[in-house]
């Protein structure tokens, strides 16, 4: 799959593939996480994999050793070369066996790395605490996951733009309180979905701008161990941290930390994911209602089964899945907030198990939501005749104000005509609700000479396009002024491959 590239070559977003390649091996006798086996893409699952985690740990150890070597500590190039040689070759069996003995994941991997690198084992993790690899890796992983969310979010906006332009001038019945209201257009309604996502995009850009490494801070964030290594030279400690960050592709680190980076950042990220989920939920909920009205439907495969009992049904299962997963993401946002608010002083370990669950699952669930959103927004089916029929049922009531004003201009008595419209509206409403017949309000008005209007003149007023206001113009303006500036930052918005929805 081609990369989604920005026009700025320094900000190229990594490519990814939505097509599943055989799935993930499963074990049928134990619980499996459906986010991995059923919903999330392999690419997002990989970002939170052990391979990604432990290879990043080793990247961090290499970067630290290199920087310490460059700053004059007794670390040889031969030791660094040895570390690099095994940076991608994780000896999991050794690490797992060691962890069963010492009950410490970081020290187990330090040991395993040292088994592969006997010349360098004495300098691995020099001066660092566990959070040097753990926390910096968590930030790097979240950063990569945010980039994947960004790509998919932008692509959904692009799909909705296409839909909005195609239907920018198609009148449709608007609803407030899920009761018939004034007309809008199908395309204008799509801009409401887009606007939510653009707001999410803007928030995502802000969060990404705030990404920074924990850095090289030591056990309680004071950098005391590194100050000792450099014999009290604070400038060298600061330069070491800058070097390490740059080797990992970052310019910024937190100015101060305890043992961990601020858990507030996890809460900020979770809030962002929740916000995007809320937008997707709104879209999917609207589409479920529209599908019930038979106005717009999500894609439905040729051999898809809607119900095991009712063969005629076309259930909006993809939109329902969006809502289901989005609800889960929204609920997850509370955990990082509670974790951030209950950390003690420089750190406490009750964050670990919680964030190990919440952060990956929130990302994987949102990845699944956006995959489905992409699929649905690319293939929505519109039924103009049904939309037109519903407009005809409700428009007579809405048109009466215009008819009243035109009739008064022709010399009619406003108060008399208003009362006639009220009476005719009650009659027509009873006919529709109590007898199940068509709305005949306009026919009643046409037959009353008090309105001083020819039937064809009233028919001209009844053109639905007279009642959509600036909906078409607003759609065009929104896309030109709001959506296109976002989409214009990306030179390739093509989404290829298959999405398992």
Q: Pairing relation of β-strands 296-297 and 381-382?
A: antiparallel
Q: Is the pLDDT of residue 382 over 80?
A: yes
Dist CA 366 CA 280 (whole Å): 9
The catalytic residue among 46, 76, 104, 307 is 307
Please, are residues 150 and 44 in contact by the beta-carbon 8 Å criterion? no
pTM: 0.89
Q: 498 or 230: whose pLDDT is higher?
A: 230
Q: 108 an active-site residue?
A: no
SS (HEC) of 288-324: HHHHHCCCEECCCCCCCCCCCCCCCCCCCHHHHHHHH
Helices 317-332 and 264-292: crossing angle, nearest 10°? 160
Task: State the pLDDT confidence band at 399, using cuts at 50, 70 and 90.
Answer: confident
**309 within domain boundaries:** no
**112 within domain boundaries:** no
Q: How many residues does the chain have?
A: 501
What residues contact residue 163 under an 8 Å CB cut-off, 6+ apart? Answer: 187, 190, 377, 380
Dist CA 263 CA 354 (whole Å): 11
- Mean pLDDT over residues 94-109, rounded? 96
**144 within domain boundaries:** no
Dist CA 462 CA 465 (whole Å): 8
**398 within domain boundaries:** yes
Please, are residues 174 and 215 in contact by the beta-carbon 8 Å criterion? no
CATH of the domain at 419: 1.10.40.30
Dist CA 238 CA 119 (whole Å): 28
pLDDT of residue 333: 97
Q: 358 or 314: whose pLDDT is higher?
A: 358
**288 within domain boundaries:** no
Q: Compute the radius of gyration of the chain from its Cα atoms.
A: 31
Dist CA 326 CA 332 (whole Å): 10
Task: Count the alpha carbons within 13 Å of 107 in the hemisphere toward its beta carbon.
Answer: 8
In sequence order, the β-bridge partners of residue 297 are 381
**201 within domain boundaries:** no
Q: Is the pLDDT of residue 500 over 90?
A: no
Residue 7: helix, strand or coil by DSSP? coil
Q: How many domains does the chain have?
A: 1
Neighbour-count burial for 222-240, b at 16+ CB within 10 Å, e otherwise: ebebbbebbeeeeebbbeb
User: For residue 96, what is the DSSP state?
Assistant: H
**pLDDT tens per residue, range 325-381:** 999 999 999 999 999 999 999 999 999 999 999 999 999 999 999 999 999 999 999
**pLDDT tens per residue, range 12-21:** 333 334 444 3
User: What's the domain range around 435?
Assistant: 386-467
**406 within domain boundaries:** yes
Task: Give me the percent of the chain exceeding a pLDDT of 90.
Answer: 79
In sequence order, the β-bridge partners of residue 171 are 185
Q: 425 an active-site residue?
A: no
Q: Pairing relation of β-strands 171-176 and 179-185?
A: antiparallel
Q: Is the pLDDT of residue 300 over 80?
A: no
Q: How far is CA 262 from CA 132, 140, 253, 310, in A?
A: 13, 15, 12, 53
pLDDT of residue 314: 76
Dist CA 452 CA 406 (whole Å): 9
Q: What's CA 245's distance to the chain center, in Å?
A: 28
- Mean pLDDT over residues 290-301, rounded? 90
- Mean pLDDT over residues 46-64, rounded? 97
**Average per-residue pLDDT for the chain:** 90
Dist CA 174 CA 171 (whole Å): 9
Dist CA 473 CA 169 (whole Å): 9
**461 within domain boundaries:** yes
The catalytic residue among 26, 177, 209, 308 is 177
pLDDT of residue 495: 52
């Amino acid at each position: 799959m081609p990369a989604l590239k920005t026009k700025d070559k320094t900000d190229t977003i990594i490519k990814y593939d939505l097509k599943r390649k055989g799935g993930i091996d499963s074990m049928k006798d134990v619980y499996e996480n459906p986010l991995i086996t059923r919903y999330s893409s392999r690419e997002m699952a990989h970002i939170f994999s052990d391979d990604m985690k432990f290879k990043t740990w080793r990247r961090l150890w290499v970067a630290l050793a290199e920087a310490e070597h460059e700053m004059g500590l007794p670390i040889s190039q031969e030791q660094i070369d040895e570390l690099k040689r095994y940076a991608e070759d994780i000896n999991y069996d050794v690490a797992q066996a060691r962890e069963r003995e010492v009950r410490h994941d970081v020290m187990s991997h330090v040991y395993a790395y040292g088994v592969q690198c006997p010349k360098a084992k004495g300098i691995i993790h020099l001066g660092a605490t566990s959070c040097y690899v753990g926390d910096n890796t968590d930030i790097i992983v979240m950063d990569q996951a945010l980039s994947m969310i960004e790509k998919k979010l932008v692509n959904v906006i692009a799909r909705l733009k296409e839909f909005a332009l195609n239907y920018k001038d198609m009148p449709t019945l608007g609803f407030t309180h899920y009761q018939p209201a004034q007309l809008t257009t199908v395309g204008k309604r799509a801009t409401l979905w887009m606007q939510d996502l653009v707001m999410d995009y803007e928030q995502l850009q802000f969060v990404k701008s705030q990404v920074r490494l924990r850095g090289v801070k030591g056990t309680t964030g004071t950098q005391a161990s590194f100050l000792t290594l450099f014999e009290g030279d604070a400038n060298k400690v600061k330069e070491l941290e800058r070097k390490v960050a740059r080797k990992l592709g970052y310019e910024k680190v937190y100015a101060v930390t305890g043992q961990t980076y601020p858990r507030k950042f996890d809460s900020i990220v979770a809030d962002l994911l929740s916000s995007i989920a809320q937008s997707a939920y709104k879209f999917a909920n609207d589409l479920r209602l529209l599908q019930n009205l038979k106005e717009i439907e999500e894609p439905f495969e040729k051999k898809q089964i809607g119900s095991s009992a009712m063969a005629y049904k076309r259930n909006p299962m993809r939109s329902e899945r969006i809502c289901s997963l989005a609800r889960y993401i929204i609920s997850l946002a509370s955990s990082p907030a509670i974790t951030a608010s209950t950390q003690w002083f420089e750190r406490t370990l009750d964050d670990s198990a919680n964030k190990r669950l919440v952060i990956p699952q929130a990302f994987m669930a949102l990845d699944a939501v956006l995959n489905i959103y992409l699929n649905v927004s690319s293939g929505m089916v519109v039924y103009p005749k049904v939309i037109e029929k519903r407009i005809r049922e409700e428009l007579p009531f809405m048109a009466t104000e215009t008819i009243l004003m035109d009739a008064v201009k022709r010399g009619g008595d406003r108060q008399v005509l208003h009362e006639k419209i009220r009476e005719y509206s009650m009659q027509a409403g009873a006919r529709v609700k109590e007898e199940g017949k068509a709305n005949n309000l306009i026919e009643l008005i046409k037959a009353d000479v008090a309105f001083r209007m020819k039937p064809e003149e009233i028919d001209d007023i009844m053109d639905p396009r007279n009642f959509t206001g600036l909906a078409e113009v607003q759609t065009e303006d929104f896309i030109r002024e709001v959506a296109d500036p976002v989409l214009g930052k990306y030179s390739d918005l093509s989404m290829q491959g298959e999405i398992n929805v």
